[in-house]
């Protein structure tokens, strides 16, 4: 009923589905952080050790909070439901991993006095020290870029893919996640997005068959 009422109001339709999709992610992330057991400490790989820590990467990292809304605002309207459903499924998948196999890291201590360091302290305070694998940060960005790419605007798609890649690099620079977390987050997003796509296509086929 809500979807039908909002179809004639594109912006509200998009915002409603962003609330459902992104809101579910926030709920699952928060609850799993409260209910899960002590996390297993993950060891950095050789690739992780090659990437120097930098608190200044926090600004790129925080631009994630611009990418996700843009995903809902710039995706074709007929892909907005897919994006919301994919985020919800991604959240459930990640939540199961967080509960069954909680993980954490040995985070670097930043002694800097810059604005970047202060922002990183704030980020560390509000974020969970666990919920490392898979990275929901990465998963949601992949889904947002995927949704935007459905508009088939090459320049826009390339810009967003590059933006997501740069944010992924900032995640590693900040040591908020390891490479395996980022990779598994991207793979989870692809799997969730594909499953939702298959579900929607099969549902359309069934409805089309019923009308014939």
**What pTM, to 2 d.p., does this model score?**
0.92
Q: Is the pLDDT of residue 210 over 60?
A: no
Range of the domain at 55: 2-37+45-211
Q: Over range 76-80, report the average pLDDT.
A: 95
Rounded CA-CA distance 165/162 in Å is 5
Counting the structural domains of the chain, the total is: 1
Q: Residue 169: helix, strand or coil by DSSP?
A: helix
User: pLDDT band at 59, cuts 50/70/90?
Assistant: very high
Q: Residue 103: helix, strand or coil by DSSP?
A: strand
> In this predicted structure, what is the pLDDT of residue 203?
82
> In this predicted structure, what is the pLDDT of residue 104?
95
- State the CB neighbour count (10 A cutoff) for residue 64: 19
């Amino acid at each position: 009923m809500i979807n039908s009422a909002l179809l004639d109001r594109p912006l509200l339709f998009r915002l409603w589905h962003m609330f459902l999709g992104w809101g579910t992610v926030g709920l699952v992330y928060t609850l799993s952080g409260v209910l899960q057991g002590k996390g297993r400490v993950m060891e950095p790989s050789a690739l992780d050790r090659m990437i120097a820590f930098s608190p200044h990467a926090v600004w790129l990292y925080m631009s994630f909070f611009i990418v996700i809304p843009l995903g809902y605002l710039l995706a074709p309207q007929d892909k907005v439901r897919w994006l919301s459903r994919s985020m919800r499924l991604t959240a459930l998948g990640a939540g199961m991993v967080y509960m069954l196999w909680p993980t954490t890291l040995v985070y670097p201590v930043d002694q800097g006095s810059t604005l970047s360091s202060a922002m990183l302290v704030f980020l560390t305070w509000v974020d969970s020290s666990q919920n490392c694998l898979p990275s929901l940060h990465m998963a949601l960005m992949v889904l947002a870029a995927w949704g935007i790419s459905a508009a088939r605007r090459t320049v826009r798609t390339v810009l967003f893919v590059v933006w997501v890649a740069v944010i992924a690099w900032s995640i590693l620079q900040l040591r908020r996640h390891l490479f395996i977390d980022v990779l598994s987050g991207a793979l989870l997003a692809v799997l969730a997005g594909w499953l939702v796509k298959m579900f929607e296509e099969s549902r359309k086929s069934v409805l089309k068959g019923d009308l014939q």
